């Protein structure tokens, strides 16, 4: 992103410059030729009128004066008058070196419908072409300034935009793979958290894969005795807020929990290790966030976390609610026999070797695995997300 966008802008400027150069070069060349032709036609016409009367009176001196007057114009290098026998009668020429670019123009001088001679002028076209060349050079300078400014601005904008995309991507759950394109990396991180409208319609009948998470506060009764009503309400409000913000990040949905527990689910269209990874990252982030909350408030929160999954139909609602209730019961039963601070997952789709690609586990009982940690790269990503959540919630 940081390189592609400036390259596109630079290419666009080059294409714009090329087409503009072709058009401007053609137009300036045409205008310069017209200007030279107009100058030649006007100058020789005026000169013919000036020498007609002296020629009628056979006044060579006046003809010479008229020619000299014509060459006072910087654009007229020389002016000559030839008689009917094509013999030079008189001539006026500017001093100095002979110009490289000259246009020779002639016109007959008639007296009483009879040709009395011919006037020749040599037009120095270099000043005229130079004026139009200056227009072209001015445009070239402006184009270079415009191309340089837009390319520099695009580089700065692309760097800032790419940096913000990387920051946003690092805050989302997913594997910390090397980033080739920031937008593609962001799409890869967001994709597991979203389900399109087409997917929703497709899976209404077949249902979704639900992962139910239950956070059981093991010392719930002790908290009632330790804290007064006001502090207890403040603690629960903070827990609610932290849970809500964490679920916003991971695409979870909170549902009603039983006494002393928090329940929420994350769903996907099908069972996958990527889905389980998102769920585990959500649970781990919320666990760390609530531990920091307890430390800040000076309260011990002894919580264990359980995750149970199953495919549930969306319709009819009766069967859907039955399936959700069954998941909650399974998750609560698993929580009853676990110690505080444990994150456990009940999974029948994958064994511990297959799950090792997303995190480290310890086998507890049949199809029950206790989370031990994440790979180093993913752990750093989680720490970044937890810091973000802590900054928002605490």
Distance CA 240, CA 234 (A): 10
Greater model confidence, 287 or 26: 287
Cα separation, 135 vs 143, whole angstroms = 12
Decide which of 113, 128, 143 is a domain's last residue.
Answer: 128
Structurally, the chain folds into a number of domains equal to: 2
Residue 154 lies in a domain: no
- Whether 293 and 205 share a structural domain: yes
Question: Which one of 69, 93, 128 terminates a domain?
Answer: 128
Return the pLDDT at 166: 77
pLDDT at 1: 62
pLDDT digits (tens, 9 = 90+) for 315-368: 888 888 999 999 998 988 888 888 888 999 999 889 999 999 999 999 888 889
pLDDT band at 174 (very low <50, low <70, confident <90, very high): low
**What pLDDT, on a 0 to 100 scale, did the predictor assign at position 199?**
47
Q: What is the percent of the chain where pLDDT is above 90?
A: 26
Q: What is the CATH number of the domain that holds 47?
A: 3.30.450.20
Q: What is the CATH number of the domain that holds 231?
A: 3.30.70.1230
| 144, part of any domain | no
Domain-embedded: residue 137: no
SS3 assignment, position 219? coil
* CA gap 266, 282 in Å, rounded: 9
Give the tens place of pLDDT for each residue, 255-304.
988 778 999 999 998 889 999 999 999 999 999 999 999 999 999 999 99
pLDDT by residue (tens digit) across 196-224? 444 444 445 567 999 999 999 998 888 88
The reply to whether 245 and 118 lie within a common domain is no
Spatial distance between the Cα atoms of 86 and 295, rounded to a whole number of angstroms: 114
Residues 207 and 289 in one domain: yes
User: Do residues 35 and 115 both lie within one domain?
Assistant: yes
In a domain? residue 69: yes
* pLDDT band, residue 254 (cuts 50/70/90): very high
Nearest to 289, CA basis, from 248, 246, 236: 246
- Do both 284 and 363 map to the same domain? yes
Residue 377's contacts (CB-CB under 8 Å, 6 or more residues apart) are 175, 176
Tell me how many degrees the CA angle 118-124-128 measures, rounded to the nearest 5.
Answer: 130
d(CA 174, CA 280): 11
* Residues contacting residue 89 through CB under 8 Å, at least 6 positions apart: 60, 63, 81, 82, 83, 117
Do 214 and 362 share a domain, yes or no? yes
pLDDT given for residue 192 in this prediction:
59
Q: What residues form DSSP beta bridges with 312?
A: 208
For residues 140-155, average pLDDT: 89
Residues 119 and 210 in one domain: no
Determine the structural domain holding residue 288 and report its residue range.
198-393
Per DSSP, which regions of the chain are E strands? 76-82, 88-93, 102-111, 114-124, 208-217, 253-255, 261-268, 303-312, 343-346, 360-365, 368-373
209 and 120 both lie in a single domain: no
Average pLDDT, the chain: 84
Among 128, 151, 174, the domain boundary falls at 128
Question: Sorting pLDDT into bands at 50, 70 and 90, what band is 194?
Answer: low
**Residues 101 and 224 both lie in one domain:** no
Q: pLDDT tens digit string along 81-122?
A: 888 888 888 888 888 777 777 788 888 888 877 888 888 888
Confirm whether 155 is domain-assigned: no
* pLDDT of 139: 87
Mean pLDDT of 37-48: 84
**If pLDDT is split at 50, 70 and 90, which confidence band does 191 have?**
low
pLDDT at residue number 117 = 86
Is residue 307 one of the residues assigned to a domain? yes
pLDDT at 65 over 70: yes
48 against 361, higher pLDDT: 361
pTM of the complete model:
0.53
362 and 240 co-located in one domain: yes
**305: nearest Cα among 252, 264, 343, 334:** 343
- Whether 162 maps to a domain, the answer reads no
Is 21 contained in some domain? yes
The pLDDT of residue 206: 64
pLDDT the model gives residue 180: 63
HSE-CB of 386 using CA atoms within 13 angstroms: 19
């Amino acid at each position: 992103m940081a390189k592609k966008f400036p390259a596109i802008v630079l290419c666009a400027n080059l294409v714009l410059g090329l087409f503009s150069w072709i058009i401007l070069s053609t137009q300036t060349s045409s205008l310069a030729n017209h200007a030279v032709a107009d100058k030649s036609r006007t100058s020789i016409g005026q000169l013919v009128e000036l020498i007609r009367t002296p020629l009628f009176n056979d006044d060579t001196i006046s003809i010479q004066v008229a020619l000299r007057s014509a060459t006072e114009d910087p654009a007229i290098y020389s002016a000559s008058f030839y008689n009917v026998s094509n013999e030079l009668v008189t001539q006026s020429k500017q001093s100095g070196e002979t110009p490289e670019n000259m246009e020779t123009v002639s016109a007959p001088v008639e007296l009483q419908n009879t040709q009395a001679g011919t006037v020749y002028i040599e037009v120095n076209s270099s000043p005229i072409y130079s004026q139009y060349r200056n227009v072209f050079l001015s445009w070239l300078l402006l184009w270079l300034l415009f191309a340089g400014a837009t390319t520099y601005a695009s580089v700065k904008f692309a760097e800032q935009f790419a940096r913000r995309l990387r920051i946003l991507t690092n805050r989302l759950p997913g594997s910390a793979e090397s980033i080739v394109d920031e937008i593609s990396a962001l799409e890869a991180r967001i994709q597991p958290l979203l389900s399109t409208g087409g997917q929703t319609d497709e899976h209404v009948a077949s249902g979704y894969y639900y992962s139910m998470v239950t956070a059981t506060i093991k010392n719930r009764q002790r908290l009632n005795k330790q804290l007064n009503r006001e502090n207890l309400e403040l603690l629960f409000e903070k827990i609610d807020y932290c849970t809500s913000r964490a679920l916003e990040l991971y695409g979870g949905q909170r549902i009603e929990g039983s006494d002393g527990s928090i329940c929420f689910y994350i769903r996907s269209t099908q069972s996958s290790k990527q889905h389980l990874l998102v769920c585990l990252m959500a649970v781990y982030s919320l666990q760390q966030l609530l531990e920091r909350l307890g430390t800040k408030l000076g309260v011990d929160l002894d919580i264990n976390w359980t995750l149970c999954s199953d495919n549930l139909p969306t319709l009819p609602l009766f069967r859907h609610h039955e399936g959700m209730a069954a998941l909650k019961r399974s998750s609560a039963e698993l929580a009853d026999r676990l110690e505080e601070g444990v994150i456990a997952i009940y999974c029948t789709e994958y064994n511990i070797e297959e799950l090792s690609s997303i995190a480290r586990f310890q086998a507890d009982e049949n199809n029950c695995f206790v989370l031990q940690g994440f790979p180093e790269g993913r752990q750093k990503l989680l720490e970044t997300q937890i810091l973000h959540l802590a900054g928002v919630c605490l």
